[in-house]
Amino acid sequence: MNYFSSNFKLGILGGGQLGKMLLYNTRKFDIYTKVLDPSNEAPCKIASDEFQLGDLMNYDAVYNFGKQVDVLTIEIENVNVDALEDLEKEGVLVYPASKTLRTIQNKAKQKLFYVDNNLPTAPFTRFAYLSEIEDAITNGGLELPFVWKAAQFGYDGNGVKVVRKLADLENLPKGECIAEDLVPFKNELAVIVARSPSGDTKTYPVVEMEFHPEANQVEYVICPARISDELAKKATDVALAVSKSFEHVGLLAVEMFQTQDDEILINEVAPRPHNSGHQTIEASYTSQFEQHIRAILDLPLGRTDSKVGGVMVNLVGAEGYTGNVVYKHIEDIMNMNGVTPHIYGKKQTRPFRKMGHVTIVNEDLGEARRIAQEVKQSIKVISK
């Protein structure tokens, strides 16, 4: 099929920053795009060929949108899977497939999938209601501490909480959830796997993620991870095994824990471009966003090795500020060596909302990490 400067239409469900960065590449290749998003101020609005307003969880909105495109992909998991399933039956190519999404959308189903496929993950218990957790603790069937995770609609630290005492359960959503053993890990790692419909597969180097202690959001992504080659191979092998089990198409970001004994446990996966791959825009031969386009269109996959060491810093809304966004000291960070800011185009900031990211590239990874710290301390995302 001819995708370039042709009548071919690529549909993207979701118009956030991940979609916007996908569109950098569709514009580079002159691939016609349509985007569906519920917000009239979505970052994708300015960059897509056609932008449509619609609820991503609404069957009719997703189905009718999907009928207008040749290939349909996502930049967010929370979409109506029934509509995707029906579109697939009618010949629309949907990547990732509805079957994959249905499993990944629900954390309990996702965890059971790992168990069923002999993939390493932390032990867990599934609960239909939050109240059942209290009963289990009282009866001695569940021991504190553990990690509570909402089965659905969690993102960026929302829907995850470490429970150390009964009172920590207060104000949590009442529905389906899991209680996962609290793993005393050394490191959080991630590997992005790209896979095409033909089965061509490539992996990006293992990255290391440093988290914000309160927001449970990634603060820094460091590529390559500062681990042994042996451990990097182990993490890559686990990611490839997950990819093979899902038979996914596109990108699959596999987040993992490195335990105190250097075992690798799967935390969770995302079947789309991911926060742990933003540094690939500046640091890799092929960015994760270009690779996702190549993969879903069954084009040859690009090189995944890094040209240079990279560290990514998330720009999130400062605490205590809500309203029209202002980026303070952005010129100061642009004066630093190897620093590139990416501003997502969200006009309104609020505490911990992802507003952009900054990539720092340097031949010396230690120096890149040092500059990243300086970037973090310099730039402030506040409101007028």
pLDDT computed for residue 39 by the predictor:
96
Residue 3 resides in a domain: no
Residue 111 resides in a domain: no
Q: What is the pLDDT of residues 32-91, one digit of tens each?
A: 999 999 999 999 999 999 999 999 999 999 999 999 999 999 999 999 999 999 999 999
pLDDT computed for residue 88 by the predictor:
98
Rg of the Cα trace of the chain?
21
Same domain for 67 and 127? no
Residues contacting residue 132 through CB under 8 Å, at least 6 positions apart:
none
Ramachandran assignment for 313, one of left (phi > 0), alpha (psi -120 to 50 degrees), beta (any other): beta
Same domain for 79 and 142? no
* Dihedral of alpha carbons 242, 243, 247, 253, sign: positive
Same domain for 223 and 366? yes
CA angle at 105 for the pair 100 and 108, rounded to the nearest 5°: 105
User: Which DSSP string corresponds to 78-91?
Assistant: -S-HHHHHHHHHTT
pLDDT computed for residue 339 by the predictor:
98
Distance CA 225, CA 228 (A): 9
User: What is the pTM (predicted TM-score) of this model?
Assistant: 0.95
Same domain for 296 and 362? yes
User: Which DSSP string corresponds to 249-307?
Assistant: -EEEEEEEEEETTS-EEEEEEESS--GGGTTHHHHBSS-HHHHHHHHHTTPPPPP-SBS
Distance CA 203, CA 219 (A): 23
pLDDT computed for residue 1 by the predictor:
83
Q: Is 37 annotated as a binding residue?
A: no
Q: What is the pLDDT of residues 280-329, one digit of tens each?
A: 999 999 999 999 999 999 999 999 999 999 999 999 999 999 999 999 99
Half-sphere exposure of residue 101: CA atoms within 13 angstroms, side-chain side: 25
Residue 107 resides in a domain: no
Distance CA 120, CA 20 (A): 34
Which structure tokens are listed for 84? Answer: 């995707």
Q: Is 149 annotated as a binding residue?
A: yes
Q: Is 80 annotated as a binding residue?
A: no
Distance CA 44, CA 75 (A): 11
Same domain for 236 and 139? no
Measure Cα distances from 273 to 43, 145, 192, 375, 377 in Å. 16, 32, 8, 24, 27
Q: Is-contact 176 131, C-beta < 8 A?
A: no
Q: Is 319 annotated as a binding residue?
A: no
Which structure tokens are listed for 229? Answer: 């080659």
Domain of 90?
A: 9-94
Instruction: Give the residue ranges of the chain where pLDDT is below 70.
Output: 155-157, 215
Q: Is 182 annotated as a binding residue?
A: yes
Distance CA 140, CA 228 (A): 40
Same domain for 57 and 132? no
Select from 181, 196, 220 the last residue of a domain.
Answer: 181
Host H or E run for residue 124: strand 124-127
Which structure tokens are listed for 155? Answer: 């993102």
Residues contacting residue 181 through CB under 8 Å, at least 6 positions apart:
122, 123, 124, 146, 147
Residue 168 resides in a domain: yes
CA angle at 74 for the pair 353 and 44, rounded to the nearest 5°: 55
Q: Is 28 annotated as a binding residue?
A: no
Domain count of the fold of the chain: 3
Same domain for 239 and 346? yes
Q: Is 346 annotated as a binding residue?
A: no
Cis peptide before 351 (omega within 30 of 0): no
Residues contacting residue 139 through CB under 8 Å, at least 6 positions apart:
none
Residue 136 resides in a domain: yes
